[in-house]
Amino acid sequence: MHRRTARGALVIGVAAALALAGCSDKSSDVSYSIKEQVQIDINGAEVPAAAVANAADPAGDGKATCAPTNIAMAGALTGNDAALGINIIDGVKLALDQHNKANPDCQVGLKEFDTEGDPQKATQVVPNIIGDQSIIGVVGPAFSGETKATGSLFNDAGLVSVTSSATNATLTQNGWRTFFRGLANDDIQGPAVANYLKNKLGYKKVCVVEDNSDYGVGLGAAVTATLGDVADASCAGSVKKGDKDFSATVSKVKAANPEAVFFSGYYAEAALLATQLKDAGVNAVFVSADGSNDPEFVKQAGSKSEGALLSCPCGPAPEAFKNAYEALNGQAPGVYSVEAYDLTTILLKGIDSGKVTRADLLEFVRSYDGAGLARQYKWSENGELASALIWIYKVQE
């Protein structure tokens, strides 16, 4: 998770090369990687991927002028789930690198704020962001729990907050005017995955296990509700984030003999659960979502991750983006990297157009309608995307 400095200038924006680019694999360990399979809608039906040739380019036309200004990133940069935050901040850095190299008269800086993904820590960190008047936009917070804890602070300050990763559906039901979600929420992801499992794959019995985070509880409830009778209540489980021993849950799952186990939580616990299930002789397909869709899941679970299905409202990295990202950051992009790049690009487009106050940049985002690498970005009044889809990935050689 350490990052190296750039290996040479990136003089051509990613977007211009995308017409010739394919979709990249998500690197993990020597044997296995997370590879995109299919894009689906809320009913679990396949939806062809849209072309990204017209995606917004953070470099713009290279003629922007502005006084030096800053944006911020808030999320887990250390701790058990730091890989997810680093995926995000490295996407932010790529967009800024391409913008600043192309626009010498408009330099936008990045201020990093580590929340460790913890809601309590986030409430201590966010006031520092708000108090820095040089910051006019924020990418983050990264996780649902910390977003729930701090959304009203950003709202009261009139500071636009664009998240590439916080998916709990209730976040947009708080009346906040400054919060914009750059991907589908769990009330879309949950039903989409559940319908894919029971309608497309034909599973008749699924055990749903969730962690106790806001993200895990919300997504688990959405999956369970849509699965209906396919969700076997006898093996439903709840674990605490940070736990290491899942023997009680594993015993219930083994007794139920399901075709699949859906885990609603993050990669650290997902890797342990997948490993302990396999070690106990449970042959059910392991299924999880964006919180687990990271190379760290494969790295930590090793061969026990093979065949796992991982959903995500995040889009796969196009080849040109992947190459530019690796050149700057020294590692492959991961979950949320593309979304972070797209959302940073939107903030930069606003700054380049002269929206250099918090109020003006907020209104720019509110009325934005444009293509990114991952999807079309246009928001409804409450900060949800007007259209959002889900990707299914698989761990394979």
- pLDDT at residue 114 greater than cutoff 60: yes
Is residue 71 assigned to a domain?
A: yes
Q: Between 172 and 13, where is the model more confident?
A: 172
Q: Are 350 and 160 in contact (CB under 8 A)?
A: no
293, 205: one domain: yes
In the DSSP assignment, the letter for residue 137 is E
Q: Work out the average pLDDT over 60-68.
A: 96
Provide the token pair at 269: 């616990």
Q: Is there a domain that residue 289 lies in?
A: yes
258 in the same domain as 206: yes
Give me the number of domains the chain comprises: 2
- Is residue 365 pLDDT above 90, yes or no? yes
Q: Are residues 251 and 145 in the same domain?
A: no
395 in a structural domain? no
Q: What is the pLDDT of residue 13?
A: 40
Give residue-wise pLDDT tens across range 164-207.
Answer: 999 999 999 999 999 999 999 999 999 999 999 999 999 999 99
Residue 339: which of 318, 314, 310 has the closest Cα?
Answer: 314
* Residue 169 DSSP label: G
Q: Could you tell me if 123 and 83 lie in one domain?
A: yes
Structure confidence by residue, pLDDT tens digits, 343-358: 999 999 999 999 999 9
Q: Residue 123 pLDDT > 60, yes or no?
A: yes
Residue 41 in domain? no
Find, among 1, 7, 2, the residue nearest to 326 by Cα.
7
Identify the domain boundary among 312, 335, 364: 312
Q: Has residue 10 been placed in a domain? A: no
Q: Is residue 43 part of a domain?
A: no
Res. 334: pLDDT tops 50? yes
Residue 34 vs residues 203, 288, 354: alpha-carbon distances, Å = 22, 12, 40
Phi, psi values for residue 382, rounded to 5°: -90, 5
**Together in a domain, 246 and 334:** no
pLDDT of 52: 67
377 located within any domain: no
Distance CA 265, CA 217 (A): 8
Same domain, yes or no, for 126 and 269?
Answer: no
Residue 154 near residue 130 (C-beta atoms within 8 A): yes
Q: Is the pLDDT of residue 64 over 60?
A: yes
For every residue of 298-314, DSSP letters joined together read HHHHGGGGTT-EEEESS
Q: Could you tell me the pLDDT band of residue 2, with boundaries at 50, 70 and 90? A: very low
Domain shared by 323 and 302, yes or no: no
The pLDDT confidence band at residue 58, using thresholds 50, 70 and 90, is very high
Query: To the nearest whole percent, how much of the chain has pLDDT over 90?
Result: 89
Determine the pLDDT at residue 5. 33
The position carrying tokens 């850095």 is 93
Query: What pLDDT is recorded for position 31?
Result: 84
For residue 297, tell me if it sits in a domain.
Answer: yes
Instruction: Give me the pLDDT at residue 50, please.
Output: 75
Cα 314 to Cα 80, 164, 218, 305: the distances in Å are 21, 8, 18, 20
Averaged pLDDT of the chain: 92
Q: What value does the mean pLDDT take over residues 8-33?
A: 42
Task: Report whether pLDDT(271) > 60.
Answer: yes
d(CA 55, CA 372): 4
CA distances from 293 to 73, 139, 251, 281, 325 (A): 21, 20, 25, 23, 18
Domain CATH number, residue 248: 3.40.50.2300
Q: Tell me which of 150 and 27 has the higher pLDDT.
A: 150
Closest among 136, 68, 56 to 108, alpha carbons compared: 68
Q: Quick one: CA dihedral 50, 98, 91, 9, positive or negative?
A: positive
Of 63 and 21, more confident: 63
Candidates 14, 7, 9, 109; CA nearest to 60 is: 14
**Which residue matches tokens 């008749």?**
204
Are 79 and 393 in contact by the 8 Å Cβ rule? The answer is no
Answer positive or negative: Cα dihedral of 230, 236, 238, 239. Answer: negative
> Predicted confidence band at 21 (pLDDT cuts at 50, 70, 90)?
very low
pLDDT at 19: 32
Q: Which residues form the domain of 230?
A: 187-312
Average pLDDT, stretch 316-345?
96
- What are residue 36's phi and psi, to 5 degrees? -65, 140
Looking at residue 315, its pLDDT comes to 85
Give me the pLDDT at residue 241, please: 93
